[in-house]
Amino acid sequence: MAFDEDNAKRIRTFLQYKGADFFEKKMFGGIVFMVDNKLCCGTRLDKKVGENLLLCRINDSAYLKAIERDDVLPMPNAEKPMKNYVFITEIGWARNQDMEYWLQLCLDFNPLAKASKKK
């Protein structure tokens, strides 16, 4: 599990400031933040490009706008990108106001997101 602790701290600070009920879980090769027991966001170090990525779970319309940007990558799956999940490259969330924009999209979508099924 590779992730930058400073970036994880930035995410933690934002979620605490917003009063989100969250916990952390190692997942997707990094760390994710679960809000109301649903994956909300996360971060990981992409070893292929050596870049810290921000994982965001966002609504359909935000997703369609996001994937048109150069600093956004769809989250890959075996056959097709995972719906509502994107990775933001470092340039897209280096500034605090950019990070807050993405994390707010995640928090806005969280009440509408479905929780994963318990195995």
Distance separating the N- and C-terminal Cα atoms of the chain: 22
Mean pLDDT of 5-11: 95
Global pTM value: 0.91
How far apart CA 94 and CA 83 sit, in angstroms, is 24
Reported as a pLDDT band with limits 50, 70 and 90, residue 119 is low
Structure tokens at 21: 């009920």
Better-predicted residue by pLDDT, 76 or 17: 17
Reported as a pLDDT band with limits 50, 70 and 90, residue 81 is confident
How far apart CA 83 and CA 80 sit, in angstroms, is 9
